[in-house]
Structure 1
């Protein structure tokens, strides 16, 4: 059987379906696999470094320190928000350390940090942050860290996705 892409569909069959040659389909598949590998989340296995990056992010953001925030964020950092259409959140990913830093500091201008409990918790198997307000869970932040810099931040603010979580101090 000729080499096939996942799901055992031969390149010749795919080529026929999309109006390309089998060689062109093989090349497209190769490029797609390479791109997926290149764009996979860059994450360090260094738990201590991950924790330090999260702590530095927390200190810089809650302290309003733009310069330090820019240092800890990778130049190509991506911020994703999930409000589920229920809570206001960025609809599109925010890309770049300058835009992300300004976005974070802009949000925190409207937050009375004295009324928020910030907990350091495991989020998706790595150090993350949980912000609780007086009514309960507000936001969970998951971080991807590589070489001491934060490369991705996933902010979940959708109450339907957070309702089942119970956090204790």
Structure 2
């Protein structure tokens, strides 16, 4: 199964069990705590991590969809301070793994090296990685690019068809 298709199926599965901060963000709610604003370096790291999780192929990837802005908003405005600290520690660990393994920050590594660091994250910083993966997938599929270029978009309430022929005995359509 291609990676893109696996992620799409995972997104459907994750959709039924979204974390509370993601649910709050999708409803437009905030945590009420002081918003966390990420530095430019942290925002670039978030974008690079998201791109490794959901890369550009024949369709746009996480960077093109602006997933880093979604993640920054959800973590910065919709999570409690303890979760924000955990997320920031995960970002710091990502750069620490990168420095230890390759002597450079994560954002300066080539894609193969970045993939290796992400593989380490899945083992060493599993809660952070799972959160990052969820935010990336939800952020991508709720973006305009994800909803229109990768998924099939059907606007609600959909197109109007005033005269739909029915076969004898066929049930009418329900909305």
Q: Give me the TM-score of the superposition, normalised by structure 1.
A: 0.25
Higher relative contact order (CA closer than 8 Å, sequence separation 6+): 2
Q: Give me the TM-score of the superposition, normalised by structure 2.
A: 0.24
Q: Which has the higher strand share?
A: 1
Q: Which has the higher helix share?
A: 2
